[in-house]
Structure 1
């Protein structure tokens, strides 16, 4: 296989995609039509990888999503049936289940605040009722690997409860229980990557000594695809895992070996509680505390595959399960060529505003503050857009990097996502993507990038960056828009004005300069 093909952590780039193998392809029904599959969580980390492979395998696919615009921005959007609505809403679920043969349940509410267990329960009950009413043939649920006979963390207990609800329903349910998923863009992988790269010596919680069985994302997708073809009215749980059983500390040093880093010294300390450990992870890695804590709690006990029952139902992939170090190597290759297919950073942020910016803020009927700037340039519009599309993440914000970093740190301290979240890729931008403390609300390629703030601010904020062609080249423009909330919001904007003058003027100058010098640099 070529080096480029090896770079993929989900499926080789230059060979037949996963899902096209005869053993994984859709089997037409008695009417000759391909099965209709409903994917719940299609825009998530696993769902976003499963959908295109279901399509490649000949399935008809439907998604239920809160944001049709988010799905519309994905490369497979035109090939799926989209139903807009919330998974907890019975009417929306009823519409989504119509004529469905198989349901993939890939949603969980870990990002929805402290009461995510109640929401998970409500969604599971809604799915179970709708599936039974529409005569769905099977539900496939991806849950978490966990030990028996111990008190589970809230996160794993919620996952287990959802599985129990679905198994007890009238629809046969196949539950796949996976441990730590290793792949480019997974939160678990990013925790390992940043902890190992940032800290040469690490005081760590006691759970670094626990045994776990990681699994490559490509193998998770394989099992999910194969579950659609598994024979019989199955209604039980199956553990799935990779070939390696190891301690978390061994995973970190395994990463160091693959990444060419020195071996890390790790000391287990009994005083680091899950809460303290999640704060520590939140400071050192881009994974925010609200995501880190459930992941940390899931590591409090050894979690390994309890039996090989899955092999009697679904044989391992023809090329074998992916070893841990190979999974790391493939994930790093994906990152290196800027082809991260899905990422945890694009997950929805609890409490963040989701309503779009008014089409004309000045006529929105509310107090609004704006900072608008323009600058003509001899640069071609395409070059200006190339610079705009790379903003944030590793590229930065083209001005006052210390101020941007300080604002991101303050947001992290206040419980927000912080600037460490970065972005999924270096140069590709689609609606719904996260870019540091912003969410991409709208993209008009070659013309407009609109970002909605997800940082903690007393109001709602947007940042627009755009380019218009002119006779002499183009004109770059940008606009910050802020709708304050009460007196606090107004005082916040006024206090930021001195920094805006530095930050926003610097952005204009640097973006234009980058675009004008691009041809010479490329030469």
Structure 2
């Protein structure tokens, strides 16, 4: 079976491709800009085609020979332009699929209530119209209707994440009491893959949802519990219109107002599955559907692995559907604050690595020692380990070793050391020290270390250092901004002094 997937660089499409491949389905990835797929581990396992769903000839050629075509293209916006664009694109795709002889269309739409025409939000009304266009295409079509999708990178999930993390107390519109039936992204993908093999005589819509029906208030409180935050104080008020609510979301969260507004407008409706007919054709996944707490926990687990990135959305292709993708928007994945410093060190790689591997313990942290001792004292007063643990070995490190109030989370000898903070913090923190390319390969203006002309015969090495902090709630936000002014002294001093120590060692080891 061969599947053509549109919207392959989007939130759902990018996660669907590896699931289809795992199910033994050949994939043709259809994108307006296939170059955006570069770097994906599966890109060599799929056929890539450049086509725009608005271009009839191009999309028809892209669908030739496909047994199933996934339509995962949506617009989010305000006004009527996005509705007209979605209508035109759906009509073009429907005609192209019919003329190309596609066996089935699979469309992921929005779950909407049974209300009089004109009462639906523009966002849901457009999704319903696209559904109707595709069902009338003459090609057997499976429409999967989902409400809030829970997973890192989902716009609905990110909006809830930021509201819950940043506001310990909030006033909310009346829709906070509306019932919804959210679904985990992994379960959405399970249904999408299964829909490809539905019988040819099945052409209809299906409601898909998780195992729980709850209010938006309950969902935020569930997020708080899973994230380790205190219960949120939520006060419902009758005066916040969808327009005011979207502006409020725009102030509190980094979700753009052009995305927040249609999502907020859709929350005025209760969206609960009317049936579960999908089970007749696609059984539930092994172990059952994921509940809300489980889906939230999966969306947050990326924070705890050793591959910390500058922002969650810059991570590599995920090992699980809940992980972030490179094409997720910049504002997705929660807050991750970064202090990054780089310099060129005139010393061999092995000498610089030796200094890095011996950091902490008796050698200290190569910066303002009084500040480190004071921070260690505060940590002990708060019940943390402080600086009293030292190191197991003064010269070598292993994964899971304690280094003062840090723990070795990742270690690539000669290249990278990642330390996870174990001091008491309102969030999660890491310190990454890295030995990178030689100076000849680096064009970096951050060359701020001393460079003795005779150090190690002029050999130079690239030293990168990052401090990363994922805040927990409003207190975590306040903590980061309160200590940020001192980073130049603490981390800047560490950068310079580690470089000096490596250069002095290299100089002392050079025959006179």
1:148 aligns to what SS in structure 2? coil
Match of 2:131 among 150, 163, 170: 163
* 2:335 is aligned with 1:346: no
Distance change in 2, residues 1:44/1:231 (3 Å): same
Computing the radius of gyration from Cα coordinates, the structure with the larger value is 2
Q: Distance in 2 between the 1:210 and 1:51 partners? A: 34
Q: Which runs of 5+ in 1 are unaligned?
A: 1-34, 350-373, 385-445, 449-463, 478-504
Note the 1:133-152 alignment, pairs <5 A: 133-150=99-116, 151-152=119-120
In the TM superposition, residue 91 of structure 1 has moved relative to its aligned partner by 2.3
- 1:30-49 Cα deviation digits (max 9, x unpaired): xxxxx111001111111111
Q: Distance in 1 between the 2:77 and 2:459 partners? A: 48
* 2:8 is aligned with 1:42: yes
Q: Distance in 2 between the 1:112 and 1:471 partners? A: 59
In the TM superposition, residue 377 of structure 1 has moved relative to its aligned partner by 3.0
Q: Distance in 1 between the 2:500 and 2:22 partners? A: 42
Distance change in 2, residues 1:233/1:513 (3 Å): farther
Distance change in 2, residues 1:271/1:519 (3 Å): farther
Contact 2:104 2:139 survives alignment (8 Å): yes
Q: Distance in 1 between the 2:345 and 2:262 partners? A: 49
In the TM superposition, residue 111 of structure 1 has moved relative to its aligned partner by 5.7
Contact 2:9 2:327 survives alignment (8 Å): no
Distance change in 2, residues 1:248/1:93 (3 Å): same
- 1:434-461 Cα deviation digits (max 9, x unpaired): xxxxxxxxxxxx779xxxxxxxxxxxxx
1:83 aligns to what SS in structure 2? strand
Q: Distance in 1 between the 2:122 and 2:172 partners? A: 22
1:104 aligns to what SS in structure 2? strand
TM-score, with length taken from structure 2: 0.64
1:64 aligns to what SS in structure 2? strand
Distance change in 2, residues 1:271/1:515 (3 Å): farther
In the TM superposition, residue 509 of structure 1 has moved relative to its aligned partner by 7.3
| Structure 1 equivalent of residue 148 of structure 2 | 180
Contact 1:194 1:285 survives alignment (8 Å): yes
Match of 1:61 among 18, 27, 44: 27
Q: Which runs of 5+ in 2 are unaligned?
A: 309-317, 332-341, 354-435, 448-456, 465-487, 504-512
Contact 1:147 1:302 survives alignment (8 Å): yes
Distance change in 2, residues 1:178/1:188 (3 Å): same
| Structure 2 equivalent of residue 473 of structure 1 | 460
Note the 1:324-343 alignment, pairs <5 A: 324-337=292-305, 338=308, 341-342=323-324
In the TM superposition, residue 474 of structure 1 has moved relative to its aligned partner by 4.1
| Structure 1 equivalent of residue 211 of structure 2 | 243
* 2:181 is aligned with 1:213: yes
Note the 1:27-106 alignment, pairs <5 A: 35-106=1-72
Contact 2:345 2:502 survives alignment (8 Å): no
Q: Distance in 1 between the 2:110 and 2:162 partners? A: 23
Q: Distance in 1 between the 2:498 and 2:259 partners? A: 37
In the TM superposition, residue 113 of structure 1 has moved relative to its aligned partner by 7.9
In the TM superposition, residue 376 of structure 1 has moved relative to its aligned partner by 4.2
| Structure 2 equivalent of residue 433 of structure 1 | none
Q: Distance in 2 between the 1:48 and 1:170 partners? A: 27
Match of 1:268 among 236, 253, 270: 236
- 1:336-393 Cα deviation digits (max 9, x unpaired): 32566335973499xxxxxxxxxxxxxxxxxxxxxxxx97433778999xxxxxxxxx
Match of 1:317 among 275, 281, 285: 285
1:54 aligns to what SS in structure 2? helix
Distance change in 2, residues 1:49/1:112 (3 Å): farther
Note the 1:267-306 alignment, pairs <5 A: 267-306=235-274
1:331 aligns to what SS in structure 2? helix
Q: Distance in 1 between the 2:237 and 2:501 partners? A: 50
Note the 1:354-369 alignment, pairs <5 A: none
Q: Distance in 1 between the 2:237 and 2:500 partners? A: 52
Q: Distance in 1 between the 2:349 and 2:79 partners? A: 42
- 1:143-177 Cα deviation digits (max 9, x unpaired): 00010124111111111111100000111100000
1:267 aligns to what SS in structure 2? strand
In the alignment of these two chains, the number of paired residues is: 361
Distance change in 2, residues 1:348/1:123 (3 Å): farther
* 2:174 is aligned with 1:192: no
Q: Distance in 2 between the 1:214 and 1:381 partners? A: 51
Q: Distance in 2 between the 1:242 and 1:518 partners? A: 56
1:346 aligns to what SS in structure 2? coil
Q: Distance in 2 between the 1:466 and 1:194 partners? A: 35
